[in-house]
Structures are given as structure tokens and as C-alpha cells.
Amino acid sequence: MFSPSSPPARLLEKAFQYIDLHQNEFVELPNGQTLPIPPIILAELGNDPKKPTVCFYGHLDVQPARKEDGWLTDPYTLTEVDGKLYGRGATDNKGPVLAWINAVSAFRSLEEDLPVNIKFVIEGMEEAGSVGLEELVREEKDQFFSSVDYIVISDNLWLSQRKPALTYGTRGNSYFRVEVKCRDQDFHSGTFGGVLNEPMADLVALLGSLVDSSGHILIPGIYDQVAPLTEEERKMYKAIHLDLEEYRRSSRVKRFLFDTKEEILMHLWRYPSLSIHGIEGAFDEPGAKTVIPGQVIGKFSIRLVPHMDTSVVEKQVKQHLENIFSKRNSSNQMAVSMTLGLQPWIANIKDNQYLAAKRAIKTVFGTEPDMIRDGSTIPIARIFQDTIQKSVMMLPLGAVDDGEHAQNEKINRWNYIEGSKLFAAFFLELAKLH
Amino acid sequence: MFSPSSPPARLLEKAFQYIDLHQNEFVELPNGQTLPIPPIILAELGNDPKKPTVCFYGHLDVQPARKEDGWLTDPYTLTEVDGKLYGRGATDNKGPVLAWINAVSAFRSLEEDLPVNIKFVIEGMEEAGSVGLEELVREEKDQFFSSVDYIVISDNLWLSQRKPALTYGTRGNSYFRVEVKCRDQDFHSGTFGGVLNEPMADLVALLGSLVDSSGHILIPGIYDQVAPLTEEERKMYKAIHLDLEEYRRSSRVKRFLFDTKEEILMHLWRYPSLSIHGIEGAFDEPGAKTVIPGQVIGKFSIRLVPHMDTSVVEKQVKQHLENIFSKRNSSNQMAVSMTLGLQPWIANIKDNQYLAAKRAIKTVFGTEPDMIRDGSTIPIARIFQDTIQKSVMMLPLGAVDDGEHAQNEKINRWNYIEGSKLFAAFFLELAKLH
């Protein structure tokens, strides 16, 4: 049995030639301390020009976990209970990394020729924003990545407990801050209430102009670039297994904005959404304080979908907020900025590796996969696709209830073993199709 | 010279008969520690049924002060610099308390008969919300306060540097919290953005429905009970000395909502105002977090003016927010509550003690006073007026720039000495008019 605390990096080191980069770079923590960035491991096995080359991306770092957070077992000792392997990183992302290594090892143990050339990119900063990764991919584009034909990421989950999935898209994200300032000091509402353009009133009006109560975004032009829905795509949502009532119950939500599986999935994956996250600089504590905040900053973000573009969205949002603000004739100052712009990602699902993965799933699990997207943003997929200009596929192994980032994270023994088989079958199918 | 650290209570003890109450009561601090409540001092001097009885209210507790906050002198050692007496409590409220004692002492030193009977209410919890005071006033209504004809409070400031003022009203305050809840846990905006009625969108819409960009409150009926403006009242604002440009500059505000002195004063004193203070439960820190808060609480308050009533305002606000919320057809739960309801206070300025104070001001300062109100809420004035049912007057001594609650609080030597004279002159005038 593997343990999340015994680094799979050791296994990699034994089996592959690896290159250690970023050894001398440091990251600064919020407390001022600096730490060296863990090396990004680039490894390779095989260099046969007649075989396709598959590059697997994974990460070995994990979210924090402490027993007292509510873990039923020691988070750093892998513990099997009723066929479930509990431990921090079990599903995110050490389990899938090991499953891939298992698949490669299987061919070597059986003394069979590996049908594909293998490359690995294994990082240790994924949970902290993949510091240094994009730079590395760009730097190695014409070296390490020059022979890569396909990129596989296995860092997400299925949509259900038992049915495998293939992920072909993720939403992007444009994160905004809008600041309204009267002066850099607060006011007392008894002394000044009634004669000021209060920054909070301006900000609430600005934030209130963004989205209506049905979730429709009110920023002019924002839907212009959204890809039209095709009949083929519509059929894919229909085929997906999702028990809406169970999903609603497990989400502990009284009612969703939509009543059908198809609408829910489309609004999570293929339509943009806007969320207001909060306000900095106002009174945010329990109790009562009669303050007029002098300067406040609203935070909101838009999840982007194909073919929206962060730079277009940035212009639309700024234009809209400036219009709303100028109509208020306020004496305050307003400033809008996009603090993060991550493009959405979508793959061509007719590419060979998607066909190969479908066949491998059929072989191992006896079913067609759910063709899914992820409503969240996984920037690395788009970065690989844009930089290396090769097909990227997300091939998850874990079940929907694995609880990545939560207490009692696990991967099912079944998923881990069948997942290892899936990767091996995928190598064979890919070699046939290539 | 007096020192803010030598308790005027000692002086009181020597000169007056005093009653010590609340000796065995305790207040609990946020850290769980309990402290005894300082006694409220009730003192009296004279009991001549032919003389009017004036009760003076003051407090001996102060705001916190540390040298390192930016004090140029030791905050607890009274220090005179250029005719200004610096020290914590100098103007709020030890200076005025001593000035009143000086006035009483003057008659005794000159062996002249005091023209009025004197009572004192001196508390030590004013800066912490006057804990226990309202209860005491009610308990002592038919005992200690039964013979009181007039109540004088000297716990605020003039509107200018040199021109004395009489304060005849303060605004009340209704403080609200409005909670919108989907569930008690937050959501990730990638995983759920697009299918939820997000609590922040609901809350922003609710808060955005309260006040327009010109400061006008949008809650139906809220202005119904506001006292109509009379011609006589309008003239009072006109007579008040206020350099609007200087006021604007010292407030560090680019532009007020109104352009004239009269409008500014009326909107601070005799019209209600609504301020949005902040939101609890949302993302309020620097940086970016892609959270959909599951449960958020908005805080706002309305400064009330005569003849608004907290219980009517409470109903209007609840009705309004329920209307707005029901139109959104949200699946979230909303709850509104008024967490604080303090009535506005206004005095009859034709009462004898106002006339006496005006004459005394004319005698000592050679001018008519500014007839002013306070936009803030000073609950004790309304409590005295409602409970004892006698005339309450606020007769400030300090200049507008005294900086109560701020660093380098001071009272001018001139204000302190002329203020002591003013109180003595007031006794004489009041006895004549009574």
C-alpha cells in the first residue's frame, strides 16, 4: 500500500531520468518568511519516434490538514476503512500520480514494451497557485515539451460515485475590485450622516448593478462571446448521470435557480456566472458600529466560458461600472481593476486521446464516460494547451464524494485500482489510434 | 489648576451630601473578565422650596488614551500650552463638571446665598453606554429626582471656536441587521456559481433599496412623522455661525450633498439619514477569495429626528425589506431585526432655563448663542426628559476643535474660566425667571 507521506517522487527518481529546476527560487509567505520553491520534476521514459508521447501532469503538495479539524484518522497515515483509503492527498493528487506510475510499472514488470513514450511534470506548488509552473512550461516549450503529443491531467473528480468521466473544459475567472473613496478615514454617522455621498451607498449600487435575482449578468455585451449551444452539446448534457435531488440535498441548498439537470450543468459549465465575494474596509464584525466607512473595496468575479476573453470582459466591466457610477453624480472617487484574469479552457473532444480514453473506459468500466466540464478554473490546462499547442485532456479517477480539500479526504480502493488499469488501457488505445 | 487624574469626585464628596448606588453591580468585559460598575454619584446642596432645583449631569470616565497614539503631552497629566489645557477628559467631561463645581464654590467663597438648589448626577460609565443609569433614573424618579425642576447636561461642544451654543435636540438611532442565509457554510464560486440565489446578491439588492444617491431614504412612509419645518426654525439656522468652506476643508470632503449652510445643518439635525455600515460574514480581507458566502448580515442605521418613533420605523423598515425580498423570489431566508432603538430628543426652547441660559451667555460672552442640535444620539437627554418629565438643556462649554475622543483632547483656558462664570450667571438668571 502506498502512503501519502512517502513521496512518489522517490519512485519517479528510480524509474525515470529527471530534471530538477527552480532549485534556487524562493517564495515569500504572508508572515515575511521565505521558503525555497519545491522543485518541479520533469521526467521522461522512452524516446521512440514511432510512438506517441504522453505527458502526465500531477502535483504532490496538499491542502493543510490537522487531526483536530475533524479527521477520523491521522490525515498523514493512509488508513483503509471499508474499501476507502483515507489520507490527505489520497485523491488530490497523490493517488492519481501513483496510479499512472503503477500503469507504467505494470508494462515493465510484465516485460512488455510500453506502447507510448512517457513524460512527467510533477509540481509541489499547485495548492499555492502553481508558482513558477507557467514560466517553466514556456521555457521548456522547445526542449522538454517539443516531442509531447498529448497532455493528461488527472486532478479532478467524476460527477458521480460509480460512473467515470472525461473532462474537456474548465471555466476561466476574471476577478475584480472596485474601490469607492471619500477620504482615507472613517466618519461617525451621527456627525456626518445626511450630508455625504457615502461610499457604501455608492458601492452597494455598483455591486447591485451586476447581476439580477435569476443569476443573469447585467453587464452589457457580456454574453456576446459565449459560444452558441449546439444540438450535439445539448445531447451530451442529457446523457450525463446526475441525480438532481441527491445533488441538491448533499449541497444543502433549498432550491437551485434551475429545475432540470441540463440547465444546472449548463449554468455551471458553459454559461458565465458572477459572484459578489465581499467588501473590504467596511464594518464586518459582529455587533453594531455607527461608522460611515470612508473608503471601501468591493470584490466580485466572473467565471468565464468559451469563447469569452479576459481582456474583453475587463473592458466591459469597467465601462459598465463607470456608467453606473457617473449616473449617481457622486463626489467620491471610483477605481475598478481586474486583479486576476484566467482564460476558460475547452478541448477538442474529437481528438485521438479523447477517443482512446473513451475506449479504455469502455474496456475497464464497461460504460461510456460522462463527458463533463469543471465550473472552476484550472489554469494549467489552458496554459499547456496555449503554450505547447497540443491536446490536453483531464482524465479523473476519483469519485464525486472524495472530499478533496475537506476533512477525511479519501480515494476508494476500487477507483485507485481500476484507475491504474484505466491508464494502462489508455496507453494501448492511444498507440493504436495515433 | 485641576488635573484630570485627580477625581473631581473628591471635591464633590467634601461639599455635598452624596449617595452611592450600584456598589454591588458588575459588568462583563468581552474577554470574560468582570469588573464592578463604578458608583453613580447622586449629590445635593440646598433644599429651599422657594428656589428652583437644577440637576447637573456629568461623567468622570474617559475614552482610552495612550501617549503613543499620537499625544504630544502625557494624556493623564493636564498640561497647558498656549492657553490650551491638554489632557484626556479635559473637555469630555471633567472640565465642564469642574466648571459647574467652581460656580457653586464661588457663591460659597463669597458667602453669598446660592440662588438655586443644586443636584448632581455623576456617572462613570458614559463612554461604555451609561450602564445602569436609565434604571437608576427610573428608580429615583420619585425620590432623588422628585424635586428637580431643570436638568442641565454639558457634555458636547459649540459649533464654532468662539461663539457659545445652546443645544436643544439630538437625533435618535435605529440600528438594523438584515440577514440573508442559504446555508451556514460557504460555497466555492467555481463549483456553485451560476445555479444559486447567492446571499450576497440578495443582500446587496436589499441594501441598495434603502437610500438614493442624493441621500433620500427610500423606505415608504419614513418621512411621514418628520416635524414640518417652521419659519421660526428656518431663521435659527440662518443665524448660526458656520464657515461652510472651512467646515468642508477640515472634514476633508470634496463636496457635500448640499451647498448652503442651512441645508447642511438641517440634514445633520432635523432630517433623518441612513448609513450602511458594512456586511458581516462575507470576504472582508485584502486580496482575492473566490467564495460565495453562505450567510451574510448587512448592518445599517437610521438617525431619527422629531417626531419619528423607533417602533414605527422598525415596522416600516421590516415591511420595506420584506417587499423587496419577496420580489426577488429568492430561495434564501431573510431576517430583519432592529438591534438598537434610541429615540430622538428635542426640548422646548421657550422654557425658562433656555431663556436663563441665553441671558447668562449674553452677560458673560456679550452675544446670542448659536441655537444648535446634535446629529448624534445622546440617549440620556431623552431618558431624563421622558422619565422625570422636566426640561432638559444641553449647555456646552468647549470649542468645536476640542477633540473629544481624539488624541490631544483639550479645553481652552478661556472656555473653562468663562464657562465657570456662565454657570454662575445661569444660576442667577434662572432664579430670577423661575
Residue B256 belongs to a domain: no
Its domain, for residue B333, covers 172-226+271-342
pLDDT digits (tens, 9 = 90+) for B174-231: 999 999 999 998 999 999 999 999 999 999 999 999 999 999 999 999 999 999 999 9
Disruptive mutation site among B277, B328, B337, B373 for chain A (greatest number of A CBs within 10 Å): B277
Mean pLDDT, all residues of chain A: 92
pLDDT of res. A23: 55
Residue ending a domain, choose from B342, B377, B393 = B342
How would residue A181 be classed by pLDDT, with cut points 50, 70 and 90? very high
On whether both B422 and B384 belong to a single domain, the answer is: yes
B132's grid cell? 445602569
Disruptive mutation site among A167, A195, A260, A340 for chain B (greatest number of B CBs within 10 Å): A195
pLDDT digits (tens, 9 = 90+) for A330-340: 999 999 999 99
Write the residue in A188, A213, A286 that is nearest to B330 by C-beta. Answer: A213
Mean pLDDT confidence for B353-375: 97
pLDDT digits (tens, 9 = 90+) for B114-167: 999 999 999 998 888 888 899 899 999 999 999 999 999 999 999 989 999 999
Check A44, A92, A123, A126 and give the catalytic one. A126
Share of chain B above pLDDT 70, in %: 94
pLDDT of res. A132: 85
Instruction: Report the 10 Å Cβ neighbour count for A183.
Output: 16
pLDDT digits (tens, 9 = 90+) for A242-284: 999 999 998 999 999 999 999 999 999 999 999 999 999 999 9
Residue ending a domain, choose from B319, B342, B365 = B342
On whether both B385 and B360 belong to a single domain, the answer is: yes
* Active site annotation includes A61: yes
DSSP letters, A399-433, are: -TTS-TTSTT-EEEHHHHHHHHHHHHHHHHHHHHH
Judged by CB atoms closer than 8 Å, whether chains meet at A205 and B208 is answered as yes
Judged by CB atoms closer than 8 Å, whether chains meet at B213 and A201 is answered as yes
How would residue B12 be classed by pLDDT, with cut points 50, 70 and 90? low
**Closest alpha carbon within chain B to A340:** B288
Judged by CB atoms closer than 8 Å, whether chains meet at A196 and B256 is answered as yes
pLDDT of res. B131: 83
pLDDT digits (tens, 9 = 90+) for B38-74: 888 899 999 999 999 999 999 999 988 899 888 999 9
Please identify which residue in the block is written with the cell numbers 453669598.
B112
Residue A211 belongs to a domain: yes
On whether both B37 and B180 belong to a single domain, the answer is: no
Disruptive mutation site among A157, A167, A204, A242 for chain B (greatest number of B CBs within 10 Å): A204
Task: Report the number of secondary-structure helices (H) and strands (E) in chain A.
Answer: 12, 20
Backbone φ and ψ for A355, nearest 5 degrees, come out as -65, -45
CB contacts of A175 in chain B (<8 Å) are: 288, 290
Residue A58 belongs to a domain: yes
Amino acid at B240: I
**Closest alpha carbon within chain B to A331:** B255
On whether both A110 and A123 belong to a single domain, the answer is: yes
Judged by CB atoms closer than 8 Å, whether chains meet at B276 and A189 is answered as no
> How high is the ipTM of this complex?
0.89
On whether both B189 and B338 belong to a single domain, the answer is: yes
Instruction: Report the 10 Å Cβ neighbour count for A158.
Output: 23
Count of A–B CB contacts within 8 Å? 236
How would residue B417 be classed by pLDDT, with cut points 50, 70 and 90? very high
Judged by CB atoms closer than 8 Å, whether chains meet at A194 and B272 is answered as yes
Write the residue in A200, A275, A282 that is nearest to B193 by C-beta. Answer: A275
Judged by CB atoms closer than 8 Å, whether chains meet at B277 and A293 is answered as yes
Question: B97 CA to chain A: closest CA distance, Å?
Answer: 24
Q: Is the pLDDT of residue B263 over 70?
A: yes
CB contacts of A338 in chain B (<8 Å) are: none
Residue with the bigger pLDDT between B239 and A10: it is B239
pLDDT digits (tens, 9 = 90+) for A199-213: 999 999 999 999 999
Task: Find the distance separating the first CA and the last CA of chain A, reported in whole Å.
Answer: 34
Question: A202 CA to chain B: closest CA distance, Å?
Answer: 7
Contact B397, B425 (CB under 8 A): no
Catalytic residue numbers of B? 61, 126
Residue A348 belongs to a domain: yes
Question: B49 CA to chain A: closest CA distance, Å?
Answer: 40
Residue ending a domain, choose from B342, B372, B397 = B342
Judged by CB atoms closer than 8 Å, whether chains meet at B193 and A268 is answered as yes
**Closest alpha carbon within chain B to A214:** B197
Classify B260 in phi/psi space as left (phi over 0), alpha (psi -120 to 50) or beta.
beta
On whether both B391 and B316 belong to a single domain, the answer is: no
Residue A243 belongs to a domain: no
Residue B286 belongs to a domain: yes
Residue A1 belongs to a domain: no
**Of the ranges A113-117, B2-6, B123-127, the best mean pLDDT one:** A113-117
Q: How far apart are CA B210 and CA A414, in angstroms?
A: 56
On whether both B55 and B87 belong to a single domain, the answer is: yes
Q: Is the pLDDT of residue B16 over 80?
A: no
Mean pLDDT, all residues of chain B: 92
CB contacts of B280 in chain A (<8 Å) are: 283-286
On whether both B72 and B107 belong to a single domain, the answer is: yes
On whether both A182 and A202 belong to a single domain, the answer is: yes
**Closest alpha carbon within chain B to A175:** B288
Judged by CB atoms closer than 8 Å, whether chains meet at A282 and B277 is answered as yes
Question: B253 CA to chain A: closest CA distance, Å?
Answer: 7
How would residue A13 be classed by pLDDT, with cut points 50, 70 and 90? low
Give the CATH number for residue A82: 3.40.630.10
Q: Is the pLDDT of residue B356 over 90?
A: yes
Judged by CB atoms closer than 8 Å, whether chains meet at A204 and B202 is answered as no
Judged by CB atoms closer than 8 Å, whether chains meet at B193 and A271 is answered as no
Which residue, among B318, B319, B315, B310, has the nearest Cα to B341 in the 3D structure? B310
Write the residue in B198, B274, B276 that is nearest to A276 by C-beta. Answer: B198
Backbone φ and ψ for B353, nearest 5 degrees, come out as -70, -30
On whether both A98 and A205 belong to a single domain, the answer is: no
pLDDT of res. A6: 40
Share of chain B above pLDDT 90, in %: 82
pLDDT of res. A1: 28
B269's grid cell? 439635525
Exposed, middle or buried by CB within 10 Å (0-12, 13-18, 19+), for A400? middle
**Closest alpha carbon within chain B to A292:** B277
Residue B232 belongs to a domain: no
Contact B410, B161 (CB under 8 A): no
On whether both B292 and B395 belong to a single domain, the answer is: no
How would residue B85 be classed by pLDDT, with cut points 50, 70 and 90? very high
Judged by CB atoms closer than 8 Å, whether chains meet at A283 and B283 is answered as no
Q: Which helix (H) or strand (E) holds A106?
A: helix A95-109
Q: Is the pLDDT of residue A314 over 60?
A: yes
Judged by CB atoms closer than 8 Å, whether chains meet at A194 and B340 is answered as no
Q: Is the pLDDT of residue A85 over 90?
A: yes
CB contacts of A278 in chain B (<8 Å) are: 200, 279, 282-284, 289, 291, 293
Q: Is the pLDDT of residue A412 over 50?
A: yes
CB contacts of A128 in chain B (<8 Å) are: none
Q: Is the pLDDT of residue A17 over 60?
A: no
pLDDT digits (tens, 9 = 90+) for A128-146: 888 889 999 999 999 999 9
HSE toward the beta carbon, residue B66, CA cutoff 13 A: 2
On whether both B35 and B114 belong to a single domain, the answer is: yes
pLDDT of res. B22: 53
- How many domains in chain B? 2
Give the CATH number for residue A300: 3.30.70.360
- Using CA atoms, how far residue A357 sits from A145, B59, B266, in Å, is 21, 79, 74
pLDDT of res. B69: 86
Residue with the bigger pLDDT between A215 and A65: it is A215
pLDDT of res. A241: 87
